[in-house]
A and B are shown apart, each in its own frame.
Chain A
Amino acid sequence: MLSIKNLHAGIEDKDILKGINLEVKAGEVHAIMGPNGSGKSTLSAVIAGNENYEVTDGSVELDGEDLADLAPEERAHKGVFLSFQYPVEIPGVSVTNFMKTAINESRKAKGQEEMPANEMLKLIREKSELLEIDRKFLSRSLNEGFSGGEKKRNEIFQMAMLEPKLAILDETDSGLDIDALRIVANGVNKLKSENNAIIVITHYQRLLDYIVPDFVHVLYNGKIVKSGGKELAYELEEKGYDWIKAEN
Chain B
Amino acid sequence: MELKEKLISSFMAFEERVDVDSDLHDVRTEAFKNFENKGFPTKKEEAWKYTSLNTILKNDFSVFPKKENAVEFSEVKKYFIHEIDTYKVVFVDGVFSSFLSSTTHDGLDVCLMSSALTKPKYKMVIDEYFNKVANKEESLTSLNTAFAYEGAYINIPRSKVVEKPIEIINFSTGTEAALLVQPRNLIIVGENAHVQIIERHQSLNDNPVLTNSVTEIFVQKRAIVDYYKIQNDNLEASLIDNTYIAQKEQSNASVHTFSFGGNLTRNNLNFYHQGEHIDSTLKGITIIEGKQHVDHYTLVQHATPNCESHQNYKGIFDDKSTGVFNGKIYVEKEAQKTDAFQQNNNILLSDKASINAKPQLEIFADDVKCSHGCTIGQLDEKAMFYMQSRGIPQKEAKALLMYAFSNEVIESIKIPAMKARITKIIAMKLGVNMGFDL
Q: Residues on A close to B: CB < 8 A?
A: 48-52, 71-73, 75-77, 80-82, 84, 87-94, 97-98, 100-103, 105-106, 109, 158, 162
Shortest distance from the beta carbon of B325 to any chain A beta carbon, whole Å: 20
Q: Residues on B close to A: CB < 8 A?
A: 380-383, 385-394, 396-397, 400-401, 403-405, 407-408, 434, 437-438
A88-B380, A88-B382, A90-B383 given; A73·B404 CB < 8 A: no
A88-B383, A88-B386, A92-B405 given; A73·B437 CB < 8 A: no
Residues from chain B with Cβ under 8 Å of A98 in the complex: 387, 390
A88-B380, A88-B382, A97-B438 given; A72·B403 CB < 8 A: no
A73-B394, A88-B382 given; A101·B389 CB < 8 A: no
Q: B386 near A102 (CB under 8 angstroms)?
A: no
A94-B438, A97-B437, A106-B391 given; A72·B396 CB < 8 A: no
Q: B403 near A92 (CB under 8 angstroms)?
A: yes
Residues from chain B with Cβ under 8 Å of A92 in the complex: 403-405, 407-408, 438
Further contacts, 13 of them, CB under 8 A, given A73-B388, A73-B392, A81-B389: A72-B388, A73-B389, A73-B390, A75-B389, A76-B390, A90-B386, A90-B387, A92-B438, A98-B387, A102-B392, A103-B391, A105-B391, A158-B390
Q: B400 near A93 (CB under 8 angstroms)?
A: yes
Complex Cα gap A109–B388 (Å): 13
Residues from chain A with Cβ under 8 Å of B389 in the complex: 48-50, 72-73, 75-76, 80-82, 84
**Of listed B434, B437, B438, residue having the most chain A CB within 10 A:** B438
Subset of 7 A-B contacts with CB under 8 Å = A51-B385, A72-B388, A82-B389, A88-B382, A97-B438, A98-B390, A105-B392
Complex Cα gap A75–B388 (Å): 9
Q: A102 near B390 (CB under 8 angstroms)?
A: yes
Q: Which of A50, A52, A73 contacts B393 (CB 8 A)?
A: A73
Residues from chain A with Cβ under 8 Å of B437 in the complex: 97, 100
Residues from chain A with Cβ under 8 Å of B397 in the complex: 73
**Of listed B390, B397, B407, B438, residue having the most chain A CB within 10 A:** B390
Q: A101 near B385 (CB under 8 angstroms)?
A: no
Complex Cα gap A77–B389 (Å): 9
Shortest distance from the beta carbon of A152 to any chain B beta carbon, whole Å: 14
A88-B382, A88-B383 given; A93·B390 CB < 8 A: no
Complex Cα gap A73–B390 (Å): 6
Q: A101 near B404 (CB under 8 angstroms)?
A: no
Shortest distance from the beta carbon of B380 to any chain A beta carbon, whole Å: 7
Residues from chain A with Cβ under 8 Å of B400 in the complex: 93, 101
Q: B385 near A72 (CB under 8 angstroms)?
A: yes
Q: B394 near A76 (CB under 8 angstroms)?
A: no
Complex Cα gap A81–B393 (Å): 15
Shortest distance from the beta carbon of B154 to any chain A beta carbon, whole Å: 34
**Of listed A72, A87, A100, A102, residue having the most chain B CB within 10 A:** A72
Q: A87 near B386 (CB under 8 angstroms)?
A: yes
Residues from chain A with Cβ under 8 Å of B407 in the complex: 92
Shortest distance from the beta carbon of B402 to any chain A beta carbon, whole Å: 10
Complex Cα gap A49–B388 (Å): 9
Complex Cα gap A103–B390 (Å): 8
Complex Cα gap A73–B388 (Å): 5
- Output the nearest chain A residue to B393 by Cβ-Cβ distance: A73
**Of listed A52, A77, A105, residue having the most chain B CB within 10 A:** A105
Q: A90 near B388 (CB under 8 angstroms)?
A: no
A101-B392, A102-B391 given; A50·B403 CB < 8 A: no
Complex Cα gap A93–B434 (Å): 14
Complex Cα gap A111–B386 (Å): 23
**Of listed A49, A71, A97, A102, residue having the most chain B CB within 10 A:** A102
Residues from chain B with Cβ under 8 Å of A76 in the complex: 388-391
Q: A105 near B438 (CB under 8 angstroms)?
A: no
Residues from chain A with Cβ under 8 Å of B381 in the complex: 52
Complex Cα gap A49–B434 (Å): 24
Complex Cα gap A162–B380 (Å): 24
A71-B388, A88-B386, A92-B404 given; A105·B396 CB < 8 A: yes
Residues from chain B with Cβ under 8 Å of A101 in the complex: 392, 396, 400, 434
Complex Cα gap A97–B403 (Å): 13
Q: Which of A50, A84, A162 contacts B391 (CB 8 A)?
A: A162
Residues from chain B with Cβ under 8 Å of A158 in the complex: 390
- Output the nearest chain B residue to A94 by Cβ-Cβ distance: B438
Complex Cα gap A89–B404 (Å): 12
Complex Cα gap A100–B393 (Å): 14
Complex Cα gap A71–B393 (Å): 8
Complex Cα gap A75–B390 (Å): 9
Shortest distance from the beta carbon of B118 to any chain A beta carbon, whole Å: 50
Q: B383 near A105 (CB under 8 angstroms)?
A: no
Residues from chain A with Cβ under 8 Å of B393 in the complex: 71, 73, 105, 109
Q: A50 near B392 (CB under 8 angstroms)?
A: no
- Output the nearest chain A residue to B408 by Cβ-Cβ distance: A92
